[in-house]
Structure 1
């Protein structure tokens, strides 16, 4: 599972709050934060990594381009309860020499997941949102940065809920399913003949079911500039299309994260509630 994002997990961990209908907010806000999170080397890995990293706090309330808790979004189409945008996720690199299952294999590079997201809004009020998102993303790996290599696609239906409590607190959760292409699964779980060992046979993954997951987060505004957030995600890989891979070690896993951030700069230009409402801070 990509933590919404792993390479963009730092952005995904940034937080803010809802503004009332009468209030206008800066078009953009910039700051810095510190994030601590723990996640498996890759989904089904039996080794975890813990990171403590600085990250840029970015909020942008553009008419078509938006940035916030959901990462970077580009709105392509909007009509009533439906809209279509571009969403992004990603993953952090994995040094194969530090992972027992992958020792001697190529590293997993920094990657980007990018593609369209079709959203249906069951409930869409300033206080509460329930949305079905149908995400289709291409996996682009930085094998020779800054060039990106296509490594397959992922279909990721997602049901999201978000609730604002006044102007200081936000709770949210999501349920997800993931279905991947053959190339996508091979990127993480395939074993080429040159990497075969006595305990690691050659393996080619197939297209099919990837995983199911649930996540939750809580965010709070301490004052005008300081924000904190905590998040947890759990994924289940039982019956995954690649569960016979020699790199498949666990049927489930979890991500845990915490961050604190401070806004340093705000634009003098402000936007009204219509622009604010669609940014999940």
Structure 2
């Protein structure tokens, strides 16, 4: 099923569903260990017309603690307070680096280092839905603000701040019991420092085709994400997704490094959970 079909289907699904106060509970291992691999095809940096393919293989780690939670469809977060209607936590995110000697627009400029983000997140649980086919859905709004840091693994530099509220719908069992799908929309704003990290051109790096440019703060763009995961077994899953990113109206569209109003990311891979704990915890589905 094409992932774009999910967005067209959501309004009808929500109207046909019955709302329930609490999500179904699952008995899950406290921790899981395994490995996963994936392939990503992405622009070198936001709005870049040049793209890179990356293949990665990493350990797969899930921890479902009362406070610290890692993996399980999310990156990582430290939960400070939680109820049936909201969750307050510290959340984390990361992004790949980019080599300037492999990008025509950035040739001769410093590389873009790996980025990681950390900051508070308030997740509001807007609705939970149960359907006649026994599938289940959840709608939430996450209010996120993070500090951004870059690293070349020899040092760490602060690169500014980002705010990115996210509206997300997740569905378990759409058409098939093994299928989990999600769609999210995330507008992004950043301060001048982070914009300058991507779009600024210092005078010493200016050329005839790349004039000096000082970035300004403001709107960065909007990201539509579509994701699907097929659970072959409790231990083996395959996944795929796409992100459509619009930079229409972005604050630094006049930078010589800004190229495209729209970019698309693609990714896919698999996860294999090899070991898990004998101790189990009860968690709402998807938490």
TM-score, normalised to structure 1's length?
0.87
Match of 1:171 in 2: 181
Query: For 1:24, what is the secondary structure of its paired residue?
Result: strand
Deviation at 1:51, TM superposition (A): 1.3
Match of 1:254 in 2: 264
Distance 1:52 1:83 in 2: 33
The reply to whether residue 53 of structure 1 matches residue 56 of structure 2 is: yes
Deviation at 1:33, TM superposition (A): 1.4
Deviation at 1:185, TM superposition (A): 0.2
The reply to whether residue 31 of structure 1 matches residue 34 of structure 2 is: yes
The reply to whether residue 154 of structure 1 matches residue 162 of structure 2 is: yes
Deviation at 1:77, TM superposition (A): 1.9
Q: Residue 87 of structure 1 contacts residue 117 of structure 1 at CA under 8 Å; is this kept in 2?
A: yes
The reply to whether residue 84 of structure 1 matches residue 84 of structure 2 is: no
Deviation at 1:208, TM superposition (A): 0.6
CA deviation digits over 1:179-202, x for unaligned, max 9? 110001000110011101111111
Deviation at 1:278, TM superposition (A): 5.2
> Structure 2 unaligned runs (5+)?
1-22, 131-135
Distance 1:60 1:132 in 2: 23
Q: Residue 61 of structure 1 contacts residue 276 of structure 1 at CA under 8 Å; is this kept in 2?
A: no
Query: For 1:162, what is the secondary structure of its paired residue?
Result: strand
Moved over 6 A (4+): none
Distance 1:156 1:225 in 2: 32
Query: For 2:198, what is the secondary structure of its paired residue?
Result: helix
Deviation at 1:167, TM superposition (A): 5.3
Match of 1:15 in 2: none
Distance 1:78 1:31 in 2: 28
Distance 1:150 1:207 in 2: 16
The counterpart of 1:204, out of the listed 209, 214, 230, is 214
Match of 2:45 in 1: 42
Q: Which has the higher contact order (CA 8 A, sep 6+)?
A: 1
Deviation at 1:125, TM superposition (A): 6.0
Query: For 1:43, what is the secondary structure of its paired residue?
Result: coil
Q: Residue 69 of structure 2 contacts residue 76 of structure 2 at CA under 8 Å; is this kept in 1?
A: yes
* Aligned CA distance change for structure 1 residues 87 and 146 (closer, same or farther; 3 Å): farther
What RMSD over aligned residues (CA atoms) do the two structures have, in Å? 1.7
Match of 2:193 in 1: 183
Distance 2:94 2:273 in 1: 24
The reply to whether residue 66 of structure 1 matches residue 69 of structure 2 is: yes
Question: Highest Rg: 1 or 2?
Answer: 2
Match of 1:109 in 2: 113
Q: Residue 92 of structure 2 contacts residue 117 of structure 2 at CA under 8 Å; is this kept in 1?
A: yes
Query: For 1:39, what is the secondary structure of its paired residue?
Result: strand
TM-score, normalised to structure 2's length?
0.85
Distance 2:249 2:166 in 1: 19
Q: Residue 240 of structure 2 contacts residue 267 of structure 2 at CA under 8 Å; is this kept in 1?
A: yes
* Aligned CA distance change for structure 1 residues 224 and 81 (closer, same or farther; 3 Å): closer
Deviation at 1:137, TM superposition (A): 1.0
